[in-house]
Amino acid sequence: MEQKEDLSDRIWIEKGDITQLRFKVGAIVNAANSSLMGGGGVDGAIHRAGGPDIIRECSMIIEEDGPCPTGQAVITAAGNLQARFVIHAVGPVWQGGKNNEAQDLTNCYRNSLLISRKYMLRRIAFPNISTGAYKYPKDEAAAIAVHTTIDFLLENEYPLAVIFCCFDDENYNWTKYYLDNYLKQA
Ligand code: APR
């Protein structure tokens, strides 16, 4: 079997609420929608914990550039959160799998990682984008999240580390399954 690079100190999983991480990160990624105006789920939690600074900056971005397309991401300050920035990534709504959802979700992770590289962030934390209100199957979404991140880290120095913050057991178990599968072969 091909020897893989050991990324165990650059990628790991935490369980729980991404707004209450037990350490500081450069950026928290938000599972946003194209309006960037907040919502429920992790988006609601991030805006509640971060306060009004975040929505203020989101409004300015929307005014200048219009709605954020699916698969894209933008960066704002993080207000009261234990992070310098929030990266708002717009995941795809699951429509059965034949509507470019996998590519859109891959782009979501990759574009968030590209922003982190540009800002030379040390650590960033992702939630399981699209797996709540947007109903992306958690198994397939976890495979995309883990593999897109691994590919990116292998080619790039920044971000130094990526944390998957999984809120529910099913997301935690699938993310751990795909990550462990990779690390076991390293
Ligand atoms: N921390 C980490 N993860 C969380 C948290 C939290 N505080 N709250 C919810 N989650 C997890 C859920 O377990 C879910 O699997 O986030 C995952 C993504 O779910 P959603 O937040 O519903 O995001 P998504 O499916 O991408 O839908 C986005 O929902 O709230 C709206 O404005 C948002 O319209 C957008 C849509």
Please state the atom number of ligand 1 nearest to the C-alpha of residue 135: 25
What pLDDT was estimated at residue 34?
Answer: 98
Dist. CA 65 → ligand 1 center (Å): 24
Indicate if ligand 1 lies below 6 Å from the C-beta of 29. Answer: no
Q: 5: CA distance to ligand 1 center in Å? A: 31
Tell me what pLDDT residue 61 has: 98
- What's residue 161's pLDDT? 98
Confidence at residue 5, expressed as pLDDT on a 0 to 100 scale: 84
Q: What is the rounded CA–CA span in Å between residue 155 and residue 127? A: 22
Give the span between the Cα atoms of 7 and 153, in whole angstroms: 8
Residue-level pLDDT at 184: 87
Give me the catalytic one of 6, 17, 43, 169. Answer: 43
Name the DSSP letter for residue 19. G
CATH code for the domain in which residue 112 is found: 3.40.220.10
The series of mean pLDDT values per 10 residues for the chain, 186 residues long, is: 80 98 97 97 98 98 98 98 98 98 98 98 98 98 98 97 98 98 87
Percent of residues in the chain assigned helix, strand, coil, to nearest 5: 45, 20, 40
Is residue 43 part of the annotated active site? The answer reads yes
- Determine the distance separating the centroid of ligand 1 and the alpha carbon of 33, expressed in angstroms: 10
pLDDT at residue 185, as a whole number: 84
**30: Cβ–Cβ under 8 A, 6 or more apart, which residues?**
42, 43, 46, 86, 87, 88, 89, 127
What pLDDT is stored for residue 186 in this prediction? Answer: 74
- Domain extent for 45: 2-185
How many domains are contained in the chain? 1
The single-letter code of the amino acid at 144 is: I
Supply the pTM of this predicted model: 0.97
Helix (H) or strand (E) segment spanning residue 167: none
Atom 18 (ligand 1) nearest CA: 132
Distance (Å, rounded) from C-alpha 154 to C-alpha 6? 10
